[in-house]
Amino acid sequence: MQTIERDAPLPAHGSARVLGAKAWNLARMAALGLPVPPAFVIGTGWCAQSNGIRSHHWLPALETLERSCRLRLGDPRHPLLVSVRSGAPVSMPGMMETLLNVGLTEETLPGFVRITGHPRLAWDAYRRLIAGYGETVAEIDAAHFEEDLEVLRGALDERELDFATLRELSRRHLATYQREAGEAFPQNAHEQLRQAIAAVMASWQREKAVTYRRLHGIDDDLGTAVIVQRMVFGNAGGVSGAGVGFTRDPSSGERRPWVDFLFNAQGEDVVSGRRSALGHDELASVAPAVWQALLELVGLLERNFGDMQDFEFTVQHGQLYLLQTRNGKRTPLAAARIALDLMDEGVIDAGTAARRTHGLDAAALTQRHVAASDGTSIDPVARTLTLAGRLLHEGALITLDGNEGTIYLGATKIVESVPQEILTRLEGLRCGQSMASGG
């Protein structure tokens, strides 16, 4: 077991192989003094013997976490709530399980309301826990919980539901859990955590995870770690929310953060795609202090991780927390520009830049754009069948631009462009490397 606390030194024998990539990067961020909620990690070595892990194995680490937070799991007056997340040594996006708000029960919920002063937050977290736990641990079809939500919300967005409606939704979820699982939702916080840890660890052997590893050539013996981390709440109202982002534009490689953010939301809302997220411009406009803090943090991440980062974050009452970081995926054009820029900024050396841009030539960097054909005027369509007051009937000719994610009315042609400035910089890099090696 390994604990993660802000400003704590890295564990002497820690690594992504031992702690999983997610937890190792959390430990690295915490050691840098970045705002990472405290946590403990059950290492990958336990995955092969997951049936042998018992509460007494992780209880000392939980007690350390409780002391750090000055809260206790299951305490009716000062309850600790945690997330339980998987973390393999290699990235397997969407394949493993996560549970949020573990520790909320009928007994701890009033205490949570008291310490937060926020009944809506408490009931929102509780209904999310029941549904998430039901899906992940009891393997109840998510459609049953979605049906409960649809009945109560009508035409309202989830964020518009008041605490009384969320309380009723929680009651419906409890009844749904009882009906579908054949037993009551567990009201013991330690039992919730025990089963959550077991379910997240068992997700390594679920069919979708096994298939993903086979398709991507990932060793089955790597196993997954389990991260138990203090909850922070993006659904706390006010200047609170959840987001994901890249430290640079993953499409063009330009030196500006790219962010998707939802106010009054938890992380699952952002990645599920059920709600339309805001971009970085909106976040900077509505919450400039948060945006400024984010700008400072992304620079620290790049300098210390040596590459463009894909990160996850939560804002609770204006306080920014980092929940994950990893090297971000990018287009070939972005890969070239980012490597060259990081070299110019002194973050990486020329040899590293050369390795990261190997094989990137004019053909790889050529961009293809949709353009008007025969003088046709092109109007973008924002996910609707109506364009400038014109109704598009079945059979109408449209063009889809997969690069930009937009739809155009009418016939188009494809225009290719080559980023000559990037090619010139790459040529200079390669000439310099050739001269340095005596080639």
Mind listing the pLDDT tens digit for each residue in 322-342?
999 999 999 999 999 999 999
pLDDT attached to residue 89: 87
Q: Tokens 């000559």 sit at which residue?
A: 420
CA distances from 221 to 48, 49, 217, 401 (A): 8, 11, 12, 41
Closest to 37 (Cα-Cα) out of 327, 328, 326, 312:
312
pLDDT of 384 > 70? The answer is: no
The predicted-structure confidence for 83-99, as pLDDT tens digits, reads as follows: 999 988 888 877 778 89
DSSP classification of residue 150: H
DSSP conformational letter for 70? T
Amino acid at 273: G
pLDDT in tens, 1-47: 899 999 889 888 888 889 999 999 999 999 999 999 999 999 888 88
Q: Report which secondary-structure segment, H or E, holds 416.
A: strand 412-417
Say whether pLDDT at 383 is over 50: no
Residue 388: pLDDT band with limits 50, 70, 90:
low
Chain-wide mean pLDDT for the chain? 87
Binned at pLDDT 50, 70 and 90, residue 134 comes out as very high
Q: What are the pLDDT digits (tens) for 259-270? A: 998 888 887 777
pLDDT score recorded for residue 376: 46
* Cα(136)–Cα(201) distance, integer angstroms: 11
pLDDT at 248 over 70: yes
- Rounded to an integer, what distance in angstroms lies between the CA atom of residue 406 and that of residue 333? 20
Strand partners, 407: 381, 400
Half-sphere exposure of 71 (CA within 13 A, CB side): 21
Return the DSSP state at 222: G
The candidate with the shortest Cα–Cα distance to 129, out of 196, 179, 74, is 196
**Model confidence band, residue 254 (pLDDT cutoffs 50, 70, 90):** very high
Q: Could you tell me if 318 and 283 are in contact, meaning their C-beta atoms sit under 8 angstroms apart?
A: no
Beta bridge mates, 82:
102, 230
Tokens of 206: 């679920």
pLDDT-based confidence at residue 411 (cuts at 50, 70, 90): confident
- Predicted confidence at residue 209, as pLDDT, reads 87
Pair of tokens at residue 355 = 């390795």
Instruction: Kindly state the average pLDDT of the residues 372-393.
Output: 56
Whether 165 contacts 196, CB under 8 Å: no
Token output for 245: 């982002």
Residue predicted with more confidence, 237 or 260: 260
Categorize the per-residue pLDDT at 382 as very low, low, confident or very high, splitting at 50, 70 and 90. very low
